[in-house]
């Protein structure tokens, strides 16, 4: 088991999950705590957890999808980071942003039910165009979303 990457300059280690279907649309959710802000699933990497293990856990916690229901297409080569809208304290640590490892998955089943997941981060899910999602994402995440869409688009089914 590969341990998580350590926090860099108070950036919390995190994974991001881009889930695409055969039509090249991205699974996005309307953020439960920030209505009207659509984004992709993401979440922190726990101690002694690899980025891939965190992705599998977060996939289930936030979407209800089991890893057996998806196909792993690609892992982004590098770590991407952004600053939070405002610094946050979590588990006694002061974080200014997140440092993320992104994964591209394919899923062609029905939309997940956002209200029946383990950790409700979204009020609902939808299949959206990549450009629409990048336009909707809050400004502090926009550069990361542009980078991920650009890096992964050639690998869409």
Helices (H), 20-106: 51-63
How far is Cα of residue 12 from the mean position of the Cα atoms in its chain? 14
**pLDDT value, residue 3:** 44
Cα torsion 88, 118, 111, 84 to 10°: value is: 0
Domain boundaries, the chain: 11-155
d(CA 125, CA 73): 21
Are the C-beta atoms of 55 and 7 separated by less than 8 Å? no
The whole-model pTM stands at 0.91
Superfamily of 11-155 according to CATH: Nucleoside Triphosphate Pyrophosphohydrolase (3.90.79.10)
Average pLDDT for consecutive 10-residue bins of the chain (157 residues)?
Answer: 52 96 97 93 95 98 97 97 88 90 97 91 97 94 97 95
């Amino acid at each position: 088991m590969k341990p998580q990457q350590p926090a860099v300059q108070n950036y919390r280690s995190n994974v991001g999950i881009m889930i695409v279907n055969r039509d090249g649309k991205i699974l996005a959710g309307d953020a439960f705590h920030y209505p009207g802000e659509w984004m992709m699933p993401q979440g922190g990497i726990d101690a002694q957890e690899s980025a891939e293990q965190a992705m599998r856990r977060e996939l289930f916690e936030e979407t209800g999808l089991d890893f057996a229901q998806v196909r792993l297409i690609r892992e982004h080569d590098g770590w991407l980071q952004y600053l939070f809208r405002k610094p946050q304290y979590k588990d006694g640590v002061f974080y200014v942003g997140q440092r993320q490892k992104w994964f591209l998955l394919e899923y062609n089943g029905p939309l997940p039910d956002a209200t029946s997941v383990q950790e409700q981060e979204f009020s609902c899910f939808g299949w959206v165009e990549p450009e629409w999602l990048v336009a909707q994402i809050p400004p502090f995440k926009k550069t990361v979303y542009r980078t991920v869409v650009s890096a992964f688009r050639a690998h869409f089914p």
